[in-house]
Amino acid sequence: MSTPTAVAKPAATPENDAPRDFIRQIIREDLSSGKHTAIRTRFPPEPNGYLHVGHAKAICLDFGIAREFAGWCNLRLDDTNPGKEDPEFVEGIKDDVRWLGYEWHDLRHASDYFEVFYRAALKLIQDGQAYVDDLSPEEMREYRGTLTEPGRNSPYRDRSVEESLSLFRRMRAGEFPDGSKTLRARIDMASGNMNMRDPAIYRIRTVTHQNTGDEWPIYPMYDYAHCLSDVLEGITHSLCTLEFEDHRPLYDWFVDKVDLPSHPELWEHMRQAGFHTEPAKPRQIEFSRLNLSYCITSKRKLAQLVNEGLVDGWDDPRMNTLRGLRRRGFTPGGIRLLIERLGVSKQNSVIDYAILENCVREDLDASAPRRMAVIDPLRLVITNLPDAHEESLSFSNHPKDESFGSRQVPFSRELWIEREDFAEVPPKGFHRLKPEGEVRLRGVGIVKCVEVIKAADGSVSEVRCTLDPESRSGMPGADRKVKGTIHWVSARHGVAAEIRLYDRQFNVPTPDDESDGKSWIEHINPDAKRIVRGWLEPAAAAAAPEQRYQFERLGYFVADRLDHRAEVPVFNRAVTLRDTWAKQSA
């Protein structure tokens, strides 16, 4: 158990301009009626993989509501499925929650409560509410029935309390092989809700657990462990996505039938284990999950991408895991802005990925300093400057915010410019550099192309220009108008860099839709990652890992959190300056 990082505060109602949705309205009513004096929530991921962008909505809602109403939120690891879980994922989940800007009141694990779950199961058997079943998993599925046909009672459903108690204790002692027996709730095999047809409570699994080792050969099912964990932690509002709506009757059934608050011996056990939360009867409330186009959020499929080497790991910037988005350069503020703008509802829908990208752009536009970089370099030589010419020019770090200050940028006779900023045969409407044409060099002055040098293969290798000295800052011709302005990097002072250009992982909005005869893997975007060699102004190369910049006229980039070093810079493109997919889909 971790030491609490915060204490519960008196309940408060958010200001009038706070988000207003059906969940927050329920909470306001619960506070005003006196049903609750403090709000307690929890975020309960299973540690069998890294969190993805879909989890961000749950994180922002669980932790955000607790913060808004001066309550608290636990981070609880639902570790009831050993064999698929790993401490690496636990640490990753903690890191992702903190990266999004939240801190938990207490760190809990479902395994903290295994003894209580076991004792509560004994109570259910004693009360005639549970029985040990010998049906195999295949037979249980057959007996369960269908959506249109009721299930059938197991031949073991009428076992006596004494026999089920004996068998369950022997299950706990490890006397039976995996899958040979199951503890089931005795509810209603004819229920129209499939979840209420005598669901499993415990199964036998002789698998080592990451926290409890080999202490337990039986493990509780999610529906059973989840609701009792909420009670034990004093959770008031159990927020979950819509797929759990049909599970709510079972959630309430377990809470009511176990009735943990009426068993002081279980609470004494919890206090001896170091837990002192008072019990509560939580209310489950469902909301629509975050579904984005061009995305896969199945943990199984995300793991497949990693295991088959289709990506470079869980934090590959092509992945929509939170670790991947972070490494790509997306911001916590941009993701929180998306969640805020989408709001909370019960209507499932697919959100255009461009909305997330625009939220990230908006956040970065305000927070990212500007730098100059060239990612497809073409040499430009200013012939009317001396070979040894160099000077230092002052540039604002942010054109919209003077508080960012300024920096010095070296300028010399030879520069790198973007290859696309020169056209030997310019298309209609082209306002950049062309033979005998003029363009303004950002922060320098106006240059005119006087000569084009070509390589042996006929490609342009260099453009030679003259600089109009009267067009420089402070000179009489500084205000002379030309239609185009381009950026540059000093060839003498620029720092070579690896630039990784990332884009959407899939090239269709619904990669899971296989109606076109293709599998989801066949929809992987082959251009989702491209690596180029570029040049940076020195101030960009000196960035710390995870420093984000707007590379002027190119997009928003981040210094890679693992590979970047000042002497060998590596930058990842987070997003372009504009939505480049809009044209493709038009």
pLDDT > 50? residue 190: yes
Coil vs helix vs strand at 585: helix
The H or E element containing residue 555 is strand 555-559
pLDDT score for 474: 86
Q: What is the C-alpha separation between 350 and 33, in angstroms, rounded?
A: 36
Neighbours of 463 (CB within 10 A): 23
| DSSP string computed for 82-98 | TTS--HHHHHHHHHHHH
Mean pLDDT for the stretch of residues 4-20: 45
Q: What is the C-alpha separation between 303 and 468, in angstroms, rounded?
A: 58
pLDDT score for 277: 73
pLDDT band at 515 (very low <50, low <70, confident <90, very high): confident
Phi, psi for 256 (deg, rounded to 5):
-75, -45
State which of 176, 203, 221 marks the end of a domain. Answer: 221
pLDDT band at 19 (very low <50, low <70, confident <90, very high): low
Share of the chain above pLDDT 70, in %: 95
pLDDT > 70? residue 120: yes
pLDDT score for 586: 46
The domain tally of the chain equals: 2
Q: What is the C-alpha separation between 201 and 219, in angstroms, rounded?
A: 9
pLDDT score for 547: 98
Q: Quick check: is 299 catalytic?
A: yes
Q: Quick check: is 346 catalytic?
A: no
Is residue 578, in this structure, part of any structural domain at all? Answer: yes
Q: Write down the mean pLDDT value for the chain.
A: 93
Q: Quick check: is 289 catalytic?
A: yes
pLDDT score for 105: 95
Query: Residue 175 is part of a domain; what is its CATH number?
Result: 3.90.800.10
pLDDT score for 581: 65
Mean pLDDT for the stretch of residues 496-516: 94
Q: Which residues pair with 453 in a beta bridge?
A: 462
Mean pLDDT for the stretch of residues 281-305: 94
pLDDT band at 360 (very low <50, low <70, confident <90, very high): very high
pLDDT band at 18 (very low <50, low <70, confident <90, very high): low
pLDDT > 90? residue 354: yes
pLDDT band at 22 (very low <50, low <70, confident <90, very high): very high
Give 439: exposed, middle or buried? Use CB within 10 Å, 0-12, 13-18, 19+.
Answer: buried
Is residue 301, in this structure, part of any structural domain at all? Answer: no
Is residue 309, in this structure, part of any structural domain at all? Answer: no
Which of 152, 205, 299, 553 is catalytic? The answer is: 299
Instruction: Report which of residues 580 and 366 the model is more confident about.
Output: 366
Is residue 364, in this structure, part of any structural domain at all? Answer: no
pLDDT band at 214 (very low <50, low <70, confident <90, very high): very high
Phi, psi for 569 (deg, rounded to 5):
-70, 145
Is residue 456, in this structure, part of any structural domain at all? Answer: yes
pLDDT > 50? residue 12: no
Is residue 52, in this structure, part of any structural domain at all? Answer: no
Mean pLDDT for the stretch of residues 37-59: 95
Least Cα distance to 80 among 117, 118, 43, 111 occurs for 111
Neighbours of 238 (CB within 10 A): 25
Query: Residue 463 is part of a domain; what is its CATH number?
Result: 2.40.240.10
pLDDT > 60? residue 4: no
Is residue 374, in this structure, part of any structural domain at all? Answer: yes
- Least-confidence region, from 11-25, 139-153, 203-217, 556-570: 11-25
pLDDT score for 11: 39
| Per-residue model confidence as pLDDT tens digits over 56-79 | 999 999 999 999 999 999 999 999
State which of 203, 221, 239 marks the end of a domain. Answer: 221
Which of 28, 46, 419, 492 is catalytic? The answer is: 46
Mean pLDDT for the stretch of residues 238-242: 96
Instruction: Report which of residues 436 and 5 the model is more confident about.
Output: 436
Side-chain half-sphere of 536: how many Cα atoms within 13 Å?
27
pLDDT score for 260: 86
Instruction: Report which of residues 268 and 175 the model is more confident about.
Output: 175
pLDDT band at 266 (very low <50, low <70, confident <90, very high): confident
State which of 201, 221, 241 marks the end of a domain. Answer: 221
pLDDT score for 280: 76
pLDDT > 60? residue 14: no
Q: What is the C-alpha separation between 38 and 106, in angstroms, rounded?
A: 16
Residue in this structure with the two tokens 């047809």, named with its chain if needed: 197
Binding-site members for L-glutamine are 78, 222
Share of the chain above pLDDT 90, in %: 87
Is residue 38, in this structure, part of any structural domain at all? Answer: no
pLDDT score for 583: 57
Domain extent at residue 575: 370-585
Least Cα distance to 68 among 1, 7, 22, 15 occurs for 15
Q: Are 195 and 250 in contact (CB under 8 A)?
A: yes
The encoded tokens of residue 170 equal 């022997």
pLDDT > 60? residue 463: yes
pLDDT > 80? residue 564: yes
